Chain A
């Protein structure tokens, strides 16, 4: 067998940065640094004199540039400097396949009797029904039960639960799984959600889906573990750095914890954007009647995913846009998406049609307010409840309708006015200048407003504190 002749190197000088690693590698001293600056690069490339070259190949091994020193094949490029690089290297950047969507399947789920379960449990089941088999989390009261349930369920479904080293790690595991195109979620509570915000911003930037169930607790700082509606501002206006928004859902019953978790996954994939579910500690612990749906999801793989197979090889998950105009265009695209999300605004109105006093509340305080509405009606007062189900986008059209005949607006919340700020901002952006003065029933520190406090406010009694 004849020895195959080894190729000698060739080099396009404009692809040489002159690092000189090849100089040492050559035993025949064929390579020298030029004394001319290459006008195309401003760098000083090496020069080859291949008279003594024995084609050992070590110079090519030493060259760090993919298109630097390369083998000159026989009969190929002779006068390579005159060749168009596109002709030498080809114009096709990649032979990777063009990815297509592998759609999700909707599978039937036999009808069952209603379950009697806690809100957190309902949310976990909702995630499983929505096709989520990858959950990452870090224990934090009062959301820990979610992680515990997933740690129990997922191995039985050949799914993955990893207890991360921190919330920062958990959200980035979500980034990876979401990048691979699969549904993923976490359970957390306020301080943990703060830590996750860096990752949320990256997910929004890289357009990744993912569901965050934040069982809000008292703050700021360590605060306490009792229920507070402390993260409305964070979810609606502070999802990490940059131009970020995410649909934010506020369930008020265990049934809604299930339904809205399923919806969250759907919206998250529809818009390629995280979705936040804000719960409160009461809701997480509250047991109630939960009817399961009659279908479940087996997720597919979206065409944009980096799944790690031939179909998705050409894809990139990234939030970097180094060129200013590229990043501006990306933000214009994100804004268009945020605008499109506005059709997802949802609200419940309860006895608002003829209401003169409209209470505005979400989460567990909305249920307390509902009880108050009933009591007020029993006392002959035309009261109603407006309950935003999406806090962002705020259901302002529904609000406008609900408060049309209202003489009084009372915002009931377990925070220092975060919900009221959303109401005011929504009305202001919608150009509503005329509305009744906003009254408030607020508790903080992990105390929810009580029905008697709402009654006292509406009836003009002296403040009652439970």
Chain B
């Protein structure tokens, strides 16, 4: 009855509070917004949540809600209010967030945000003002405009080519997310009491953490309906209400569920998630493998998805970094989600990897014939090629300066009982063929990588040893 204390004592934001604007709303005579504002203000008062309330006002006539409400205010882009509301709600779960939207905003440009937020079901409250017209832009057709109703963009009346009016309360009630959906009106004292109660209840459900609530208010826009206020009220009752039946559309009894802990800022927790370790790894290298290159070694690992080329590449990079060198690994895959090609460019540098790509590698580890055929000719003179002789039957002719090691990765791994360790066999072969790092450097990297799957360590160590043995056998 008396002015709700939620309204500012003076509307400083309304034209700097000058003259009458300091105490009058910007709404036209007979507009429904004023009453909806009043009921909202009264509900905030009654629930004692003024300090916790954040009102979201998106584009439309009600974008200036923040002129009047002495609460936290956030003004949003056209249609985006419900997701802005979510951003506020998840930032401070104790805040009470109200998204106050018109029909163009909610039912047209923001439809995706409206529906997805309702379905998400997080406790926010949406007040939807349906006046069947665009107000702020000057009387264009809204998604809620009635059939036959004229507007500046439906000058001969809305017809079948404009489609039927959107019944938002029913649409929202049809979703699983919301707990409470009601459509109310303002045209007489009885409806106003219902509207006030509905808005109060919708906010209370949020305060109690029970879920998303949606109140559609059939409101008057005399200016753009080109009627006097009394006739507009009558029009809402006689023309709008039959299309948009009043009443509760959904009312679930739900226990409070929205309880969120404050975010964690414990350093140890964060580091453990990151997989960080405090222990200095054991170093086995005496220095950078300058017998391969003075500063920077480039490797290519190539195979099909599932060959383990990327894991092997990652282990080389880890091994190098554990030894205090720099390393990079760039994977590249074919477009297929499974199978297809799988290539890895690896660099190991004493100080800093300059160019991480490996278009002309010094070392190639090839898991199949196409990879060997494709990348074999790119290997630099004096380089090393190691390939899976279990699957490559015919090797291409390479520059005679290149050392070639055919090693049956797959055969050995299969004999060990797990074909997936063929990439570890390959790493063993790489170690023996190039001596890029000592054996222990690789074994340390393998053990660290398998620290959560300790049972697999012996098998992997065996595979690695077999890779070394195969190369040694070739060299004899």
Contact = CB atoms under 8 A, between A and B. Distances in A.
Contact of B330 (A71, A179, A282): A282
B83 A313 contact: no
Contact of B265 (A117, A168, A298, A367): A298
A239 to B, nearest CB: 14
A462 interface: no
A113 B279 contact: yes
Contacts of A20: 30, 229-230
Interface string B314-331: 100110010000111111
A293 B332 CA distance: 30
B4 A176 contact: no
A209 B330 CA distance: 32
Given A43-B29, A179-B74, A318-B66, A285 B330 contact: yes
Contact of B83 (A172, A298, A371): A172
A353 to B, nearest CB: 18
Number of chain A interface residues as a range:
35 or more
Contact of A25 (B17, B92, B189, B267): B189
Contacts of B52: 308-309
Contact of B95 (A61, A174, A308, A320): A308
A24 B188 contact: yes
A316 B91 contact: no
B34 interface: yes
Contact of A93 (B8, B38, B92, B356): B8
B273 A153 contact: yes
Contacts of A162: 86, 90, 120
Contacts of B68: 66
Contacts of A18: 29, 229
Interface stretch (B20-28, B137-145, B421-429, B465-473): B20-28
A466 interface: yes
A110 interface: yes
Contacts of A202: 76-77
B87 A136 contact: yes
A252 B102 CA distance: 46
B252 interface: no
B354 A165 contact: no
A116 B314 contact: yes
Contacts of B89: 176
* Listed residue (B4, B24, B53, B68) with the most chain A CB atoms within 10 angstroms of its CB: B24
A296 B265 contact: yes
Interface stretch (A335-343, A414-422, A423-431, A446-454): A446-454
A66 B7 contact: yes
Contact of B112 (A165, A179, A206): A165
Nearest to B262: A158
B29 A313 contact: no
Interface stretch (A180-188, A214-222, A391-399): A180-188
Interface stretch (A124-132, A270-278, A434-442): A124-132
A92 to B, nearest CB: 6
A306 B331 contact: no
B94 interface: yes
B357 A157 contact: no
A368 B112 contact: no
Given A156-B269, A199-B77, A287-B328, A308 B97 contact: yes
Number of chain B interface residues as a range:
35 or more
Interface string A317-361: 111100100000000000000000000000000000000000000
Given A60-B1, A287-B314, A318-B75, A179 B278 contact: no
Given A158-B264, A173-B87, A93 B10 contact: yes
A370 B274 contact: no
Interface in A169-221: 169-170, 172-182, 184, 198-199, 202, 206
Nearest to B277: A113
Contact of A110 (B85, B260, B278): B278
A67 interface: yes
A58 B189 CA distance: 7
Nearest to A180: B91
Contacts of B85: 176
Interface stretch (A83-91, A259-267, A403-411): A83-91
Interface in B220-234: 222, 229-230, 233
B183 interface: no
Interface in B231-275: 233, 260-265, 267-271, 273-275
Contacts of B165: none
Nearest to B89: A176
B296 to A, nearest CB: 8
A100 interface: no
A63 B308 CA distance: 74
A103 interface: no
A371 B360 CA distance: 13
A173 B83 contact: yes
Interface string B6-24: 0111111101010010111
B92 A309 contact: yes
B403 interface: no
B72 A313 contact: yes
Contacts of B327: 116, 288-289
A286 B28 contact: no
B192 A62 contact: yes
B313 to A, nearest CB: 8
Contact of A177 (B34, B50, B91, B112): B91
Contact of A286 (B25, B230, B356): B356
B292 interface: no
Interface string A66-104: 110011000000000000011001111110100000000
B86 A173 contact: yes
B6 to A, nearest CB: 9
B271 A93 contact: no
A22 to B, nearest CB: 10
B443 interface: no
A313 B70 contact: yes
Contact of B86 (A176, A287, A364, A374): A176
Contact of B88 (A131, A166, A306, A319): A306
A289 B88 contact: no
Contacts of B32: 64
Given A66-B41, A109-B271, A90 B9 contact: yes
A461 interface: no
B353 interface: yes
B63 interface: yes
Contacts of A93: 8-12, 17, 70
B217 to A, nearest CB: 12
A134 interface: yes
Contacts of A382: none
Contacts of A136: 87
A61 B1 contact: yes
Given A158-B262, A199-B80, A370 B355 contact: yes
* Listed residue (B7, B10, B27, B317) with the most chain A CB atoms within 10 angstroms of its CB: B10
A115 B274 contact: yes
B231 to A, nearest CB: 10
A337 B332 CA distance: 42
Contacts of A28: none
A91 B77 contact: no
A115 to B, nearest CB: 6
* Listed residue (A21, A128, A134) with the most chain B CB atoms within 10 angstroms of its CB: A21
A134 B8 contact: no
Nearest to A149: B273
Contact of B30 (A19, A287, A466): A19
Contacts of A64: 25, 27, 31-35, 37-38
B211 to A, nearest CB: 16
A91 B10 CA distance: 7
* Listed residue (A108, A110, A113) with the most chain B CB atoms within 10 angstroms of its CB: A113
11 contacts: A17-B29, A67-B24, A112-B276, A125-B274, A156-B269, A160-B90, A173-B87, A288-B356, A292-B274, A308-B97, A371-B357
Given A93-B11, A176-B90, A371-B357, 8 more contacts: A19-B222, A62-B189, A131-B265, A134-B87, A156-B264, A182-B91, A289-B321, A292-B274
